[in-house]
Every structure is written in C-alpha cells, then in structure tokens.
A and B are shown apart, each in its own frame.
Chain A
C-alpha cells in the first residue's frame, strides 16, 4: 500500500533522509521510530507530498506521487506533528473546510464528518473554537480532519507528542482501533506506543533505516546464551572446544561463587552445554536465551543518544 523507494531529501548541504526504502502492506500498522532529528518527519512529509524527494519516489496504492500527487493525497489521511489544525477556526468549520477541500459530495461529507467526530471522540466539542481546546483535544481535531474522507492510509506524525499520560492512553486506544481498519504508519519516539499499536517497527537513525522487522521477533535478535554454573576447571577454552565454537564468543564473569558465561554465538545446541556440565561435574543453576528489550535494541541501533 505504501512504498518508499530510495527516498532521499537534501536541504542545501544537509542530507536529512538518505536512501530510505520500505513497504507497508495493506492493513498493516507500522511504527516509524528514531531519535529526534533522525528524519522521521522529513520522511513522512515526502510520503504525504509536502516535500518533494531530492531523489527516489513514493508509491501509494500503486500510484507514483511524482506524477499523481493529488490522487495520492486523496488516499491519505495525514496528521502533521505540530499545528494539525487552524486554531482560529471552530471545530465544525475546520472539518467542513477539509471535507470541501477533499471534494466530498454533500452526503459523503455529512457521513465523513459524523464518522470522524465519533472516531476521534469529539462529540460535544463540535462548535468549539479550536484555540480553546486542550492539547489533547486539538490532537483529536487533527486526527478527525485526517479521517473525514475515510482514507485507506493513515500517516500520523507523533500523534501523542506533548500529551499527558491520560491523553496518551486515550489516543493510543483510538489508534489501536484505527490500526485494525486501515493501513497505518505512525512515527513516535515512545517505544511502548509502537509496541501497543503496531506490529512492525522501522527504526531510522541519521536519515537511514537501521531496523525493519516485526516487534515480536525483535527481542530474539539479541543472540546471547547465558549460563550460570559452579565447578572446577571452568574456562572459555574447555567450553568452546566442547561446543565447537570460537573461544572469543564466550565471555566469563564471576558473581560470588558462580561463573556467568555469556555466549555470543547461538549456533549450537544448548543441550550440549548441559551435557558438558554433566561430563565435567559442574553444577548448572541457570541456562537461558538472553532477550533484549525493544528499548535496548533502539539504543544500540541509534547510537545510544535517546
């Protein structure tokens, strides 16, 4: 549904996004993650036609944005990061303006606005001036505006930034609901948000993609086996020889009377390690795959500056 093909954006001498390619299939909910300034917003602005890529292109619903900008924009509902609405307008006027700009017929407009107001939980705020609303409700107005034409694709730039924990929970609940109906790409730097709403994550750092996989699989990528054991003659050499792996893959630390082995190479059968313990008469207290939290993966891939 969404295809980013070698997207690159340069501003004068600064390259904000470099050779970014990814796909989001129909019905999928994908999180675009990255530290501030990594290029998330720039990428989304290219996807929505606000920026023209310096090179590369975007295809949405099979249409190339370079040739069919307006047709592509017709398919997308977009929530910009800041200023997602005109503060000096009433909620109703703003939604009507967006619906008119999107060429909705009177019937579609009525239905679309009703749907958007209900989906964003704006009942009772319809005739309020937007500048009087709290940040959370302004965000809902922006979200409602992105929904009036019932788009197939939703692109949301930091939908929960600047909100308090209650508001975040409410918006996330909303996003979960939308994610089940539409193709969603949302950017955030709140990791739990991606885990809560999306099935897949793309991590972008310094303008490049450094990770693109399902979140459930992400934790397994750590690639360490940890064993805690006691006994005589425990050494990296013995273990490595027995398992048939390199000595350098094994890191041994001592914790009180226990040895802790951290093995980087997981291409061996852990049962063999148990057998080694039996053979050498070592006492094995723990043996497990070390899983990294998504936050750790994020920190490692984005160079630690979170």
Chain B
C-alpha cells in the first residue's frame, strides 16, 4: 500500500504559500486589519463591561467574516487564473498533500493573527482576574471555527478563477452561516412559529458556525461542538479533493 499522504510534502506546499503571503504586503495588511478590528470591538466596551475577557472572543466573529475570506480567496483562484495548477499537479505529490498544505498555510496565518491578540489578554490579566477556562476555550474555539471557515473558503476558492469573486462569495456564505443562529433565535421568539418550525430552528442553529463557537468561548467544552467543527472542516476538504480529482 502506497502512502498517499506525507506530512513533509504538505509542509513544502505550506511553506511556499506562507512565503507567498509575506512576499507582498498582502499578509501584513490582512493581519493589521484583523488586529485593528478586534481591538476596536474589544475596547469600545471593555471598561464598561467590567473588563470582561469574553468580549475578546465575541469580537472575533465580524473580523473573521472578512479576514478569512481574504486569506483563502487566493489559495486556488490565483493558481487557476495563472495556470500554475499544471506545475503543482505534475509534481510527484498527491492531491491530498497539496490541499492539506494550502490549508496549513491559511491556518498558520490564522494562528498568527490570533496570537497577535494576546496583548489584550495581558491587559485583562493586569486589570482583573479573568477566567482561564474562558481564555483557553476562546482561543481553541476560534482556531476550530477559523479552521472550519478556512476549509470552506479554500473550497470556494477552487470554484472560482477570480480572487475577488471568491472573496465576495466566501464572505456571503460565511455571513449566512454566522447569521443563521440569530435568525433562529428570532424565529424562536415567535411562539407560534417556534411550535411549527421548531425543527427548522434547530437545524439553523446546528449549521450555524457561530452557534457552536458560542459555548466554547464561554469556557464550556462540549465535544459535540468540537466534533461539528472537525466534521465541517473534513467535509469541505473532501469536497475540494473530489472536485479537483473530477477536473483531471
């Protein structure tokens, strides 16, 4: 049985992709924008809410909707437009290794972005005594949620040869996934509707990425939420693999 996946190959791809982000100002700009938004969202309400660290993790939602599509949009679209997939797919590597390599590169950027929010945690520790379970859960949740978004964004990037189109579509899809949890709460608030459409409300909450993140960011670890993110990620990496293999 031949091995279809070697981490070494994925890392070769990932390194090229990461260098690609930082060869141009693009990577730095993305990170700066992310940090800027996160800080504004946190410090607008930080003092009035009693220096609550949970604000930090709640603040990730909106920046993620923009930051992650900006990172994933080029993963495939750029190669498809330039025709460089022909270089990639004629190297002795499996499609899975290439997909995972690209995924790792975006995850690296995400983790880098998240680590840049650590000063906020520092301030919270200095200003009070935050719940460390919330901090761990918040970051872990953000990595899982971001990872799920990245897998989806990477797949969408495969479907379009224009980065801008990939970006817009990804943002739109992310927004829908994010908003369904609020929409479902609104439905729930109308008792008559909740009675008839209770299953729809549950379904909407279930597919909503933000809903699964919510409890993690409060420091409540539920394996179902983690499992959701892992399955979500696996599903879109698989779809990515399948549509690449189909195109060959």
Interface residues of chain A, those whose CB is within 8 Å of chain B, are 45, 48-52, 68-71, 73-74, 76, 78, 80, 82-89, 93, 97-98, 100-103, 145
Contact A87–B93 (Cβ < 8 Å): no
Q: A80-B86, A82-B83, A83-B83 are in contact. Are A93 and B92 (CB under 8 A)?
A: no
> Cβ of A100 and Cβ of B90 under 8 Å apart?
no
B92 lies within 8 A of A74 (CB):
yes
A69 contact set on B, CB distance < 8 A: 92
Q: Does B82 contact A (CB under 8 A)?
A: yes
A5–B18 Cα distance when bound, in Å, is 41
- Residue B20 lies at the interface, judged by CB distance under 8 Å to chain A: yes
Query: Shortest beta-carbon distance, A271 to chain B, in Å?
Result: 56
Chain A to chain B contacts (Cβ below 8 Å), 20 pairs: A45-B86, A70-B94, A71-B92, A73-B92, A80-B87, A83-B82, A83-B86, A83-B87, A85-B84, A86-B87, A87-B82, A88-B20, A93-B19, A97-B12, A98-B87, A100-B12, A101-B9, A101-B13, A102-B91, A103-B92
Alpha-carbon distance A69/B95, docked complex (angstroms): 11
CB within 8 A of B93: which of A50, A70, A78, A84? A70
| Residue contact B92 to A50, C-beta cutoff 8 Å | no
- The answer, among B24, B83, B91, B248, for a CB contact under 8 Å with A101, is B91
| Further pairs besides A69-B92, A70-B93, A88-B20: 16, Cβ < 8 Å | A45-B86, A48-B90, A49-B90, A50-B248, A70-B2, A71-B92, A73-B92, A80-B83, A80-B87, A83-B84, A83-B86, A86-B82, A86-B84, A89-B20, A102-B91, A145-B87
Q: Does B23 contact A (CB under 8 A)?
A: yes
- Tally B residues with Cβ within 8 Å of A: 22
Tell me whether B89 and A49 are in contact (CB under 8 A). yes
Distance in Å: Cβ of B163 to nearest Cβ of chain A = 13
Of A71, A76, A97, the contact of B90 (CB 8 Å cutoff)? A76
Docked pose: A51 CA to B23 CA in angstroms: 31
User: Is B23 a contact partner of A70 (Cβ separation < 8 A)?
Assistant: no
A-B pairs, top 10 by smallest CB distance, nearest first, are: A83-B83, A73-B92, A70-B92, A80-B86, A101-B91, A100-B12, A74-B92, A48-B90, A78-B90, A52-B248
B188 to chain A, nearest CB (A): 47
Question: How far, in angstroms, from A171 to B195 measured CA to CA in the complex?
Answer: 75
Closest Cβ–Cβ distance, residue A147 to chain B (whole Å):
14
- Residues of B near A88 (CB, < 8 A) are 20, 23-24
Do A101 and B82 have beta carbons less than 8 Å apart?
Answer: no
Taking CB atoms, residues of chain A closer than 8 Å to B2 are 68, 70
Closest residue to A47 on the B side, CB-wise? B90
B16 within 8 A of A: yes
Question: Is the Cβ of A101 less than 8 Å from the Cβ of B90?
Answer: no
Question: A76 to B89, alpha carbons, bound, how many Å?
Answer: 13
Residues facing A in B56-80 (CB within 8 A) are none
Q: How far is the CA of A98 from the CA of B88 in the complex (A)?
A: 9
Nearest A residue to B91 via CB reads A101
B-side contacts of A145, CB under 8 Å: 87
Complex CA–CA separation, A68 to B9 (angstroms): 17
Q: B76 to chain A: closest CB distance in Å?
A: 14
A87 CA to B2 CA in the complex, in Å? Answer: 33
In the bound complex, CA of A86 to CA of B2 (Å): 29
Closest CB-CB distance, A137 to chain B, in whole Å? 17
- Rounded to whole Å, the gap between the CB of B5 and the closest CB of chain A is 12
A70 to B98, CA, bound (A): 13
Q: Cβ of A84 and Cβ of B23 under 8 Å apart?
A: no
- CB-defined contacts of A82 to chain B, threshold 8 Å: 83
| B residues less than 8 Å from A97 (CB atoms) | 12, 16
- Decide: A101 and B93 in contact? CB cutoff 8 A: yes
**Which residue of B13, B82, B86, B248 has the most chain A CB atoms within 10 A of its CB atom?**
B86
- In the assembled complex, how far is the CB of residue A148 from the closest CB belonging to chain B, in whole angstroms? 11
Q: Kindly identify, within residues 89 to 119 of chain B, every residue whose CB is under 8 Å from any CB belonging to chain A.
A: 89-94
CB distance from A263 to the nearest CB of B (A): 50
Residues of chain A with a CB closer than 8 A to B20's CB? 86, 88-89
Residue of B nearest to A145 (CB): B87
Smallest CB–CB gap between A1 and chain B, Å?
A: 17
Residues from chain B with a CB closer than 8 A to the CB of A102 are 91-92
